[in-house]
Chain A
């Protein structure tokens, strides 16, 4: 198994752990808990481009799509990945194929295109500025 698989498994596990912990926290007390794993936010007090995505995913779980997009559109992306990637990994392990690696290589080739890459970075920076304005 390639390096990509280990990273994907690590990220998915961490994502699910944090989601479960947040859902549990939400049930036990209504206080808005903030575990603060984000180094940028805890050191500079500015939100990073993906701050609020946990809360956005939690809102998605409640079926609150519009509020989730308003909080942070990255949340939808992350939720999509958390649903999609584990299936791909399990499929690859069972059938011995390399679909995840192919997807990764393909996306890297697309990103080698300077125009697409710069466009993506600009979108992320705009989202970041929006995050700072919202004061997440």
Chain B
């Protein structure tokens, strides 16, 4: 893929990934065939900031975990009152990383 397109993709989507993953993504995208560009454009990523806000407001009900697609963990959090309150607090700090992990998994599904 053209490096210009790759840089454009990275510029608009860099907040959805961990910073240390960006170089790897760039190298991989340059190697990938041009035909994937359309699929890449239609990918919908989850915003880490949104999940952080949801986690602070409704983390005890596990809604943040439901949003990023961890349904099993979400139900666990819901039934244990946010992991007895402690897990909910831990997730205030973990949820952004978890969201970015989900995003990179989604991207990898298309790239590999």
Contacts and interface: CB of A to CB of B under 8 A. Distances in A.
B81 A38 contact: yes
Given A78-B79, A112-B71, A49 B61 contact: yes
Interface string B70-101: 11110110111111111110100000000000
A74 B87 CA distance: 18
Contacts of B76: 7, 11
B98 to A, nearest CB: 9
Interface string A32-54: 00000111100000001111010
B84 A15 contact: yes
The A contact surface, by secondary structure, is helix
Contact of A49 (B70, B78, B84, B86): B78
Interface of B: 60-61, 70-73, 75-76, 78-88, 90
Given A15-B84, A39-B82, A111-B75, 18 more contacts: A11-B76, A11-B80, A11-B84, A14-B86, A38-B82, A39-B60, A48-B81, A49-B78, A49-B79, A49-B81, A50-B78, A50-B80, A50-B81, A51-B81, A53-B81, A74-B79, A117-B71, A124-B79
28 contacts: A7-B87, A10-B87, A10-B90, A11-B76, A14-B83, A15-B84, A18-B84, A37-B84, A39-B82, A39-B85, A40-B61, A48-B60, A48-B61, A48-B81, A49-B78, A49-B79, A50-B79, A50-B80, A50-B81, A53-B81, A74-B79, A77-B79, A78-B80, A108-B70, A108-B71, A108-B72, A111-B72, A124-B78
